[in-house]
Amino acid sequence: MTSESPRLRPAVPGDYDRIVAVVDDWWGRPVRSNLPRLFLDHFHRTSLVAENAGEPAGFLVGFLSPSMPDCAYIHFAGVAPPFRGGGLARRLYESFFALAAAGHRTRVRAITSPRNSASIAFHTAMGFSVTGPVAGYDGPAVDRVVFDKRLPRP
Ligand SMILES: CC(C)(COP(=O)(O)OP(=O)(O)OC[C@H]1O[C@@H](n2cnc3c(N)ncnc32)[C@H](O)[C@@H]1OP(=O)(O)O)[C@@H](O)C(=O)NCCC(=O)NCCS
């Protein structure tokens, strides 16, 4: 990892193009169809970007559930390969936990593909419970691992 410490800031809709341009590379497989523009247009106020020298080093796209008043949800988060292993994803998640708690949320949820062992290890390290793989979670033959974390009450 590099010696600089990326700066965290709230996302803006204009971040979309730079983020979607790197996600296939960061994930090592095609994932960009999971991140349509609507997520930055409509959820940028609860999403975060980590920047280094003006370039994205990491990001988190999340929202406060409009339908589950106790719940916040992390849809997509990633860290550029050179910045991995230095606690950047932890910083992004902890900033989102603070934002969720300020919005009176008591739990945070996320899901991942069963093949994404890095995501499962990361969420386990971050204190999420891990359920699954849940067969057919996202429709026929689309299994998902489900993460859930209770936030401490303020
Ligand atoms: C998963 C990912 C976000 C982790 O980012 P990161 O900045 O390297 O993670 P951190 O350095 O903040 O690690 C936080 C904790 O998770 C653990 N962790 C992170 N990646 C891990 C891995 N691949 N295997 C095992 N543990 C891992 C760390 O050991 C650390 O634990 P600790 O704080 O108890 O020491 C990053 O590898 C990534 O972007 N992967 C590709 C995209 C992806 O799969 N995203 C899904 C995650 S939501």
* Mean pLDDT value across the chain: 95
Q: How many CB atoms lie within 10 A of CB 20?
A: 17
Averaged over 28-36, what is the pLDDT? 96
Structure confidence at residue 2 as a pLDDT band (50, 70, 90): very low
Residue 106 has pLDDT above 80, yes or no: yes
- Work out whether strand 55-64 and strand 107-112 pair parallel, antiparallel, or are unpaired: unpaired
Spacing, Cα 119 to ligand 1 middle (Å): 7
Nearest to 61 by CA among 37, 83, 82: 37
Q: How many CB atoms lie within 10 A of CB 39?
A: 21
Task: Report the alpha-carbon distance of residue 113 to residue 102 in Å, rounded.
Answer: 29
Summarize pLDDT for 44-90 with one digit per residue, the tens. 999 999 999 999 999 999 999 999 999 999 999 999 999 999 999 99
Which CATH code of 3.40.630.30, 2.170.190.11, 3.40.50.720, 3.30.1180.20 fits the domain covering 7-150? 3.40.630.30
Averaged over 126-131, what is the pLDDT? 98
62 by Cβ neighbours in 10 Å (0-12 / 13-18 / 19+) ranks as buried
Among protein residues, the one with the nearest Cα to ligand 1's atom 9 is 89
Structure confidence at residue 1 as a pLDDT band (50, 70, 90): very low
151 by Cβ neighbours in 10 Å (0-12 / 13-18 / 19+) ranks as middle
Listed by start position, the domains of the chain span 7-150
Structure confidence at residue 154 as a pLDDT band (50, 70, 90): low
Task: Specify the ligand 1 atom closest to the Cα of 74.
Answer: 48
pTM value is: 0.96
Beta strands in 45-154 (DSSP E): 48-52, 55-64, 71-79, 107-112, 129-134, 144-150
> Residue 79: CB within 6 Å of ligand 1?
yes
